[in-house]
Amino acid sequence: LAKTTQPISMDSYEGQEVNITCSHNNIATNDYITWYQQFPSQGPRFIIQGYKTKVTNEVASLFIPADRKSSTLSLPRVSLSDTAVYYCLVGGLTGGGNKLTFGTGTQLKVEL
Amino acid sequence: GAGVSQSPRYKVTKRGQDVALRCDPISGHVSLYWYRQALGQGPEFLTYFNYEAQQDKSGLPNDRFSAERPEGSISTLTIQRTEQRDSAMYRCASSSTGGDGYTFGSGTRLTVV
């Protein structure tokens, strides 16, 4: 499974856009890129998943360049409640019974 | 059910005792996964099932750990002869075939004293 590298922590202020970049140089052709969010005392929560170019949902956008060796999770206008750990994972399409390997994630802290 | 249910929520046990952790996945979800999470770390894969078949148990730390899902629904993770190093949050997740991600349960906090 491709290893991912992401910043250990990031700080932001309410109302700002936050971009978290993840490196995955060894991503395989059939790997997808998935991001999860985890609040303290809760299990990780699926945010977004993509294969290439751009994916957008009601929560976030995911930008994937053509070489797919990195990806950027974009959170528009963050609020205090977005303070959480964000995990970048690469692997098979979730739902195909493919296990996902979590790293240590990025601790995002949003302040007033 | 509406979500992934795990029980017990908290478990304190003495060293050497066996424990059984239960996971009730979302109804209809084919795949079920067990993870273990230490404080400040990401979840660590233990094992997973498609229906009742255990597909991968490469993450189980040693032979004291085992898991089953006999009818393709509820799963039990069993730890025999518990040790203090087994203390952690044990998380279960399930997924459908639709590629819409895992849904995690609230976890079982295991403390071995």
Q: Which residues of A88-97 are buried (b: 16+ CB within 10 A; e: fewer)?
A: bbbbbbbbbb
Do A97 and B30 lie within an 8 Å CB cutoff? Answer: yes
Of A42, A46, A104, the CB nearest to B102: A46
* Rounded Cα–Cα distance for residues A87 and B47 (Å): 20
Closest alpha carbon to A98 in A24, A3, A21, A30: A30
B42 closest CB neighbour out of A93, A96, A105: A105
Q: Is B25 on the interface with A (CB under 8 A)?
A: no
Beta carbons of B98 and A49 less than 8 Å apart = no
Read off the pLDDT of residues A46-82 as tens digits, 9 standing for 90 and up. Answer: 999 999 999 999 999 999 999 999 999 999 999 999 9
B45 and A97 within 8 Å at the Cβ level: the answer is no
Q: What's residue B1's pLDDT?
A: 53
By the CB < 8 Å criterion, does B28 face chain A?
A: no
pLDDT above 60 (res A40): yes
> Residues B33-78: pLDDT tens digits?
999 999 889 999 999 999 999 999 999 999 999 999 999 999 999 9
> What would the pLDDT profile of A76-111 be if each residue is shown by its tens digit?
999 999 999 999 998 876 645 567 788 889 999 999
Mean pLDDT check: name the lowest of A6-10, A37-41, A63-67, A89-93.
Answer: A89-93
